[in-house]
Structure 1
Amino acid sequence: MTTEDDAKSVMDGPEGLVHILPHLFGYHPEAALVLSGLTPEGALVHFTRTGLPADTSDWQATVHDLFDFQQGRVAEGSDTVHGLVAWICPDPADPHYGEQSMARHRALAGLVGVTAASHDADLLEVVYVTRDRYWLMSTDAFGEGRPISSPPAELDATALPRSSEVRAALAPVTGDRARAIAKAVDKVLGEADVQIRTSGHAAVANDAAALVRRTVRDLVDGATTVEQIPDRTAARLLVGLQYSFVAGVALELCEDRELPAARDLWLHLTRLCPDEVNWCVVEPTVLYAATSWGLGQRGTARLALHTVELIAGDYYLINLLAHAMNVERSYEGFRARLRASRGDSITG
């Protein structure tokens, strides 16, 4: 589940619920169920999202888990919550996206209402939101729904990413490309095993760290592009990043001149992790999230973290960045610590 700790957003009127939704997490949620508390002043607090199951048999468990998690956050917080609001955000790939899908999800809205009552919570509204229309499930009958009007300037969300687009960008390569990179990774693993037996893990990690620094430097200088990186080099980077020391070195490449090139590299490597080598995917994806955050794309960073969390679960590198984003609130505080760490690794 994705949250944004301690953030508050104030909405005004029913359509305000639609306009403010992308700003809760920094992206347009799709294929998602969102739940938020509402204060007497109209502020949305303790908002939480989870994936929207395609299988209706999973709806009840999903709703209960979402409520339990969100209500736990309410109990731990200091805000007065007088009601709840929920959003159902369908998958744009649904062939019945729109009115037909809305009709199907009325049963889900009913489950949300029943679950709210079982938690002694006042559910004020369930909003069904597509890209251009919305329905207030408590009042709107079947029909075409209400068109989403242009929001006030301060709530313009056209620059915010859509979750489906971010996930599509992270999708791994397939077919011959997937087989080629899997073969390259397998060969690099064999070579690393020989080096470990002769020189130890430290030698492998140090070589990989040097390769990370050199690759990002070449990208920054324009000496190469990510598309020109040979499979062998990509495989060496993926295998090397499995060392926490090497992943730390990669995180430390955080200066403004480095961030765009590093972000391109981590996205490229993330996509080079098909099922055959998906054990490599956590590190480049977290690094992609970190550099996206550094470039001001907080929503993309959150989505990338959520995507890899579904694969890896409770993992130190995911937890490190998630904690930093929740505690630091700004990339600059995190970058200051990375700079200090980078200085220590260079002088040590």
Structure 2
Amino acid sequence: MTNHSETTGPFENGDITAGVPFSGPITPDTPIALRTSAELADALPYLLGYRPEDSMVLVSLLDRGNFGGRARLGIPAGDEDWPAAARQIARGLVLGARRRGTRPERIVAYVCQEPRPGESGRDVMLRLAPLAQLLRTECGGLDVPVIEALCVSDNRFWSYVCPVESCCPPEGTPMGMPGTSAMAAAATYAGIQVRGSLRELRARMQPWETSAALEQEVALDAAGMALVPRILDEASRTEVAGETLDLAGRIIRRFAEAAPVSGIHPADVRDDALLGHDEAAALILGLQDRTTRDRAAAWMEGDEAAPALRLWRALARRCVGPYREHAAAPLTLAGWVAWSTGDELEAREALAMALGADPEYLFAQLLHRACDEGLDPESIRRCLRQERRGRPLEEGLPSKRPKIPEQKSGSPLSPGTLLGALEAPEADPAAPTRRKRRPRSTGPSGTGPTGTGPSGTGPCADRPQARSRRPTRSRPSTGDRACRSEEHG
């Protein structure tokens, strides 16, 4: 689960996803048992694929102790919102799992937050104790007991369940060295990587706040003056769409041919250097047309997916200043490509950020809901492949301007067709839309392997064991605008 945006409220817009039991042990004969609070605390980043921050997390256990679904929700800033947040995450996880035909037997709860100025980790544990109790109460009300509740803060953990000081001391227990546990070894064996925090993931798609942002804003102003009238004019809209897709194809090729660099930040800096301000501005404005954006979504698989995802991230970083709302289009494309290629974590975050930029962006709404409900993206891919056949977007890298017809009701990528592909009620297709705001006069703006094992020893060892199989990669599951109009696609 992910919040739509930290700016849209602490939890009201959150959606929760139920996960799937992991398939197969690490080897045919060696499942891994997690028996203690320390092992459960160490397992959390591997269960989610990232280090949660400022989060409450619920992890369900199925029959025979296998891990099931996971749900995460940001901790509301005000404790008056905690009861509703605890109810939302508990109901989302438990009822969502039941709708999918699984029944959680038990739950492990986590609250994770770093100390505020002047606080210690123990202060955080005491302050969040009422929230942990609310999680236990809400899950218990759904007939699923919480067998362990942990607070993780300041590289230590505390159990709200274990009363034995020799096992769970008041000052907390230091977390183990990263990468040294059995869980870490199992995840490494399975190819699972913990990718840092959500903050680091979001930073790859957040607008620049450097001196270069002003230059990009100037380029967006100039592009807006030149392109917006053409996009809003039916006679020239098709020509602008062709120019946008042709430019995007050339830059995707440029990204694909660039020499690789190591490290996430250096890679993003390299991509930023490969993309000119004027090019970025033309693409950002051109993608505000829904038909153009839908055509661009066809770069979704094979060798073209990775450089396309890099381009959409780079464009999201260029939506600076008053153009931040324009990021909904590239962020939605980034979320779609990530989901299409099996990266559900980045997909959810990118789509949540798109909805933070524009809560009414329909394409992002549909994809976010479908991803969270565990649908298969192949239904969307089929629509895009059908649209792509017979058009000059060969290999995803156009050599000439494609001609894009007006989008009509029943066309492969209309909102109604997307809704049908996602098994949702049909929505009225819309022509290219305008945004609420006109451009300025100067321009527009898990994996815990848990297996059954001996009960072990120690005060915490007699609790029910959480057992999982080998961690496996996430399985893929399953707007719009032309520069601003009253209707959103």
Give TM-score, length-normalised by structure 1: 0.83
- CA 229–146 in structure 1, closer or farther in 2 if over 3 Å, else same: closer
Taking the aligned partners of 1:59 and 1:339, their CA distance within structure 2 comes to: 45
CA deviation after TM superposition for structure 1 residue 5, in Å: 4.1
The residue aligned with 1:206 is 242
CA distance in 2 between counterparts of 1:324 and 1:79 reads 18
Which stretch of the first structure deviates more once superposed, 163-172 or 142-151? 142-151
Aligned to 1:184: 219
| Residues 301, 341 of structure 2: 8 Å contact kept | no
Q: Does the aligned pair in 2 maintain the 1:26–1:298 contact within 8 Å?
A: no
2:34 paired residue among 6, 9, 12: 12
Q: Distance in 2 between matches of 1:211 and 1:299?
A: 29
Counterpart position of 2:400: none
Which range moved further: 222-231 or 103-112?
A: 222-231
Residues 59 and 11 (structure 1), Cα distance of their counterparts in 2 relative to 1, 3 Å cut:
farther
Secondary structure of the corresponding residue to residue 84 of structure 2: helix
1:163 is displaced (CA, Å) by 1.4
| Aligned counterpart, 1:22 | 45
The residue number in structure 2 matching 1:226 is 272
1:85 is the counterpart of 2:108: yes
Contact kept in structure 2, 1:208 and 1:237, CA below 8 Å? yes
3-state SS of the aligned residue for 2:299? coil
2:363 to 317, 328, 344: 317
Worse-superposed segment, 296-305 or 105-114? 296-305
Aligned-CA RMSD value: 3.4
State the partner residue of 1:163: 198
1:157-199: CA deviations, max 9, x gaps? 6543321211223232126433333333233222123324483
Higher Cα radius of gyration: 2
Q: Does structure 1 residue 154 correspond to structure 2 residue 202? A: no
5 Å-filtered alignment, 1:36-51, equals 36-51=59-74
| Aligned 8 A contact 2:46 2:194 in 1 | no
Structure 2 unmatched ranges of 5 or more? 3-15, 23-31, 163-167, 260-269, 394-402, 404-489
Give the structure 2 partner of residue 281 of structure 1: 327
* Contact residue 17 and residue 96 of structure 2 kept, 8 A: no
Higher relative contact order (CA 8 A, sep 6+): 2
Percent of matched pairs sharing the same residue: 23
| Ranges in structure 1 where 5+ consecutive residues have no aligned partner | none
Check 1:341–1:18 CA distance in 2 against 1; reply closer, same or farther (3 A cut): farther
Distance 1:133 1:155 in 2: 22
Greater mean alpha carbon deviation, residues 55-64 or residues 295-304: 295-304
| Alpha-carbon spacing, 1:297–1:191, altered in 2? closer, same or farther (3 Å) | same
Residue aligning to 1:63: 86
Alignment partners' CA distance in 1, 2:77 and 2:220: 34
- Residue 42 of structure 1, CA deviation: 1.0
Higher mean displacement: 88-97 or 39-48: 88-97
CA contact (8 A) 1:46 1:73 kept: no
Separation in 2, partners of 1:300, 1:239: 24
TM-score by structure 2 length? 0.61
Contact 1:226–1:264 at 8 Å: present in 2 too? no
Quick one: which amino acid aligns to residue 298 of structure 2?
Answer: E
For 1:228 and 1:80, locate their aligned partners in 2 and report how far apart those are by CA, in whole Å. Answer: 50
Name whichever structure is richer in helix by fraction: 1
CA contact (8 A) 1:11 1:17 kept: no
